Each structure stands twice: as C-alpha cells, then as structure tokens.
C-alpha cells in the first residue's frame, strides 16, 4: 500500500509527545506490513514512524 518515496500527510497521531500536527507532510522511508509501521521523513525534520494499528492515520498525496 505504501512505498518508498511516496508523499503523505498526517491526519492524526496517538503520540502525545510529538510536535507533528494534522496536515504535516512527509516522505515514506519504509513500510513494514507485518507491524503496520510506516517510517516517515517528515518535512519538519522529524523521523517519527506511524503505528497504523495503534491509532496513527495518514493519507497519500497525489
């Protein structure tokens, strides 16, 4: 579903400690289907991974 280099936008995150906000954009580094973990290089410099089974949501940008 996700592939390296794909652009995404954050919809929501369950991480209360991140400075990421809905609408922030980033580029996919890696997607682990087994863990449902999406490694992202965010445009703001963060490298926070999204845990899609734990409440994090992103959308693919066209």
Domain ranges for the chain, please list them.
Answer: 7-60
Q: What's the pLDDT band for 1 if we cut at 50, 70, 90?
A: confident
pLDDT tens figures, 7-51: 999 999 999 999 999 999 999 999 999 999 999 999 999 999 999
**CA 17, CA 61: separation in Å to the nearest integer?**
25
H or E element at residue 23: none
The reported pTM is: 0.92
């Amino acid at each position: 579903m996700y592939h390296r280099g794909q652009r995404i936008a954050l919809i929501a995150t369950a991480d209360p400690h991140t400075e990421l906000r809905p609408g922030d954009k980033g580029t996919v580094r890696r997607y682990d289907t087994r863990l449902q973990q999406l490694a992202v290089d965010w445009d703001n410099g963060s490298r926070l991974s999204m845990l899609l089974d734990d409440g994090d949501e992103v959308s693919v940008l066209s």
